[in-house]
Amino acid sequence: MANQESTMEKIVSLCKRRGFVFQSSEIYGGQNGAWDYGPIGIELKNNIQRAWWKEMTQLHDNIVGLDAAILMHPRVWEASGHVENFTDPLVDCKKCKQRFRADQIDQGKLAKKECPECGGELTDVRKFNLMFKTNIGPAEDTASVIYLRPETAQGIYVNYKNIIQSNRMKIPFGIAQVGKAFRNEIVTKNFIFRTCEFEQMEMQYFVKPGTDEEWFNGWKKQRWAFYEKHGIRMDKLRWHQHGPDELAHYARDAYDIEYEFPMGFRELEGIHNRGNYDLTRHTEFSGKDLQYIDQDNGNERYIPFIIETSAGLTRNVLMFLCDAYDEQNVAKSGEAEDLRVVLHFHPKIAPVTLAVLPLVKKDGLAELAREIQQELKDDYVTDYDQSGSIGKRYRRQDEIGTPFCVTVDHETLESGTVTIRFRDSMEQIRVPKAEIASRIQREIKAYKRV
Ligand code: ATP
């Protein structure tokens, strides 16, 4: 397995080299906390998003989707508690001008107001709100202040009545959403782990008070199973329950699924029992009645409890990359080291499902390979590569995690068969070209992480 310390650097460099992720505005020196997803990266991100969306909506009759606006009425963030509570404690060094999270530096130095970097004098601790504020409309005054949403959840809460009415939803039911969120994070290291602009995949599940614990436990199980199903090494995941000091202002109970990134175990997704906090607050602030009316039970009225599953999409991209990354010495014994970099993505997550490669360009093999690729395009994300030796081309596909390579050679001209080469085992089989699509479909279904 790859050396832990340098794994992140290698992943960052692979991501740039192969078009997964680029630094934002790189030609201007880069923009802190923002990253761009390149041609291969966007396929990976879309696949993760699609897998989540399918899991949450298509596989549950009682969960529906939503795409709410990023800009919301400013009162939303007063009701949600973000204006008051969504803060980090900050200190600045008067000498070297560096800024620190007060909760992340040596507490002894903080008490003495001594800069951990240069020993200079620190300012008092100030509360710093993480929401990005801007102005809407022509006047830049306090009445025009608007926020970029720091989470997608509130868009769901304010639409919960609309969705009950338009889609005749009955409790328990859920609303799923994927979208951008923005936080003015002070420390944005570790590549795309913590950024100022990121994407979340959130599902809010509305339940009857008293049944919340059961649903909370059920959703914990389901979210854990999602990662197993998508080929993640389960010994890299663990649960972390929030202690009383960690619990957010809205939460009755909260567990994080943590993944062992190269820099250690860190939060990947949170499962929260938010009680009736959000809908009670929106009732107060909006003056609208947000009670659920249970028509099957004598029109009983109550504010539902909410179980939330909240995962970072962009953080999941990093997790899938770290989990897939591998370096293998594939040299025969006695030969010099020959390192193969390979990403062991689940075939449903891999940016490219199959690459079609003519053994050589000449003798009509290139044309035939193009024809075969054309036929497979409808069902799979395909790639075509004819440049360099076949060995080099396999390695290039390994590096972006392509699970299957279809090679067209002289025998294809004679017998109509091709080879399928498997990324993980590097084994090759011969199949008639008419059977490629169905064979690959079977392989995807049966895929198990080695
Ligand atoms: P953290 O403690 O890491 O700041 P959080 O507890 O504030 O995260 P939540 O508000 O629960 O996070 O957000 C839910 C999910 O959104 C997180 O589990 C994470 O995957 C993702 N997320 C949160 N903040 C960021 C960020 N700045 N960059 C990327 N992903 C993020």
Is the Cβ atom of 149 under 6 angstroms away from ligand 1? no
Final residue of a structural domain among 280, 299, 321: 321
Rounded CA-CA distance 258/269 in Å is 7
pLDDT tens for residues 264-319? 999 999 999 999 999 999 999 999 999 999 999 999 999 999 999 999 999 999 99
Q: What is the CATH number of the domain that holds 299?
A: 3.30.930.10
Cβ-Cβ contacts under 8 Å for 383 (sequence gap 6 or more): 352, 354, 355, 356, 397, 402
8 A C-beta contact, residue 317 and residue 192: yes
Same structural domain, 310 and 422:
no
Q: Residue 1: its pLDDT value, please? A: 47
With cut-offs at 50, 70 and 90, classify the pLDDT of residue 3. Answer: low
Burial class of residue 313 in the structure, from the number of CB atoms within 10 Å of its CB (0-12 exposed, 13-18 middle, 19+ buried)? buried
Same structural domain, 286 and 364:
no
Same structural domain, 299 and 234:
yes
Can you tell me whether residue 204 is helix, strand or coil?
strand
Q: Per the domain annotation, does 198 fall within a domain?
A: yes
8 A C-beta contact, residue 402 and residue 423: yes
Say how many C-beta atoms besides its own lie within 10 A of residue 88's C-beta: 18
Same structural domain, 316 and 358:
no
Task: Say how many Å lie between the CA of residue 189 and the centre of ligand 1.
Answer: 14
Final residue of a structural domain among 303, 321, 339: 321
Indicate the pairing of strand 325-329 with strand 292-294.
Answer: unpaired
Query: In terms of residue numbers, what domain contains 419?
Result: 352-446
Report which listed range, 5-14, 172-181, 327-336, is most confident.
Answer: 172-181
Q: What is the CATH number of the domain that holds 440?
A: 3.40.50.800
Average pLDDT of every residue of the chain: 95
Rounded CA-CA distance 446/439 in Å is 11
8 A C-beta contact, residue 223 and residue 234: no
Please give the number of the atom of ligand 1 that sits closest to the Cα of 194: 28
Same structural domain, 232 and 179:
yes
| Cα 250 to chain centroid, rounded | 24
Specify the residue with its C-alpha closest to ligand 1, atom 8. 267
Q: Largest Cα–Cα distance of the chain, in whole Å? A: 81
Structural domains of the chain, count: 2
8 A C-beta contact, residue 355 and residue 385: yes
Same structural domain, 226 and 365:
no
Q: Using CA atoms in the order 190, 195, 201, 204, what is the torsion angle rounded to 10 degrees?
A: 110
Instruction: Point out the least confidently predicted range of 135-144, 205-214, 354-363.
Output: 135-144
Q: Per the domain annotation, does 421 fall within a domain?
A: yes
* Mean of pLDDT values over 355-367: 96
Specify the residue with its C-alpha closest to ligand 1, atom 14. 310
Residue 274's nearest CA partner among 177, 103, 128, 156 is 156
Is the Cβ atom of 399 under 6 angstroms away from ligand 1? no
Same structural domain, 360 and 317:
no
* Mean of pLDDT values over 205-218: 97
Phi/psi for 305 (5° steps) reads -90, 155
pLDDT tens for residues 232-249? 999 999 999 999 888 887
8 A C-beta contact, residue 402 and residue 355: yes
pLDDT tens for residues 88-143? 999 999 999 988 889 889 999 999 999 999 999 999 999 999 999 999 998 888 88
Final residue of a structural domain among 277, 305, 321: 321
Write down the residue that tokens 């970097």 correspond to: 117
Task: Say how many Å lie between the CA of residue 267 and the centre of ligand 1.
Answer: 7
Residue 436's nearest CA partner among 402, 411, 404 is 404
Say how many C-beta atoms besides its own lie within 10 A of residue 330's C-beta: 14
C-alpha to C-alpha distances, 113 to 89, 101, 122, 125, 447, nearest whole angstrom: 14, 13, 5, 9, 56
Specify the residue with its C-alpha closest to ligand 1, atom 19. 312
Please give the number of the atom of ligand 1 that sits closest to the Cα of 256: 18
Q: Per the domain annotation, does 134 fall within a domain?
A: no
Q: Per the domain annotation, does 278 fall within a domain?
A: yes
Q: Per the domain annotation, does 211 fall within a domain?
A: yes
State the alpha helices, DSSP H only, in 104-144.
107-111
Rounded CA-CA distance 181/174 in Å is 20
Query: Can the peptide bond before residue 172 be classed as cis, meaning omega within 30 degrees of 0?
Result: yes
Task: Report angle CA 232, 238, 244 to the nearest 5 degrees.
Answer: 145
8 A C-beta contact, residue 432 and residue 419: no
Q: Residue 4: its pLDDT value, please? A: 53
